[in-house]
Amino acid sequence: MEGERPATVTGVFRLTPSGNEKVLYAFTGGSDGDELWASPILDKAGNLYGTTSEGGGGTNCLGSSGCGTVFELAPDGTETVLHAFQGGTDGAFPVASLLIDKDGNLYGTTEEGGSDGCNSYGCGIVFKVAPDGTETVLYAFQGGIDGAEPESGLIVDKAGDFYGTTAGGGGYGCDEGGCGTVFELTPSSAESVLYRFEGPSVDGAFPNGMIEDTSGNFFGTTEAGGNLCTKGSNLGCGTIFELTSNGTETMLYSFSSRGIFPEGVIEDEKGNLYGVTSQGGRRCPGGLHCGTVFELKR
Domain layout of the chain by residue ranges? 1-140, 142-298
Q: Is the pLDDT of residue 279 over 80?
A: yes
Confidence class for position 241, pLDDT limits 50, 70, 90? very high
- pLDDT value at position 200? 86
Confidence class for position 68, pLDDT limits 50, 70, 90? very high
Of the candidate CATH numbers 3.10.20.30, 1.10.760.10, 2.120.10.30, 3.40.50.10070, the domain formed by 1-140 belongs to: 2.120.10.30
Average pLDDT estimate for 226-241: 78
- 224 by DSSP, 3-state: which? strand
- 86 by DSSP, 3-state: which? coil
Average pLDDT estimate for 149-170: 94
- pLDDT value at position 246? 87
Q: Is the pLDDT of residue 81 over 90?
A: yes
Confidence class for position 119, pLDDT limits 50, 70, 90? low
- pLDDT value at position 6? 45
Residues in Cβ contact with 26 at an 8 Å cutoff, skipping those fewer than 6 apart: 10, 11
pTM, two decimals, is 0.91
Output the CA–CA distances (angstroms, integers) from residue 266 to 234, 273, 295, in the order listed. 27, 6, 10
- pLDDT value at position 172? 82
Give the containing element (helix H, strand E) for 41: strand 41-42
Average pLDDT estimate for 220-241: 82
Average pLDDT estimate for 37-58: 93
Least reliable range by pLDDT among 47-61, 141-155, 279-293: 279-293
Q: Do domains 1-140 and 142-298 have the same CATH topology?
A: yes
CATH class as words, domain 142-298: mainly beta
Sheet architecture: strand order including 239-243: 205-212, 218-224, 239-243, 249-254
Q: Is the pLDDT of residue 84 over 90?
A: yes
Q: Is the pLDDT of residue 242 over 80?
A: yes
- Report the candidate in 77, 73, 27 with the shortest Cα–Cα distance to residue 47: 73
- pLDDT value at position 173? 78
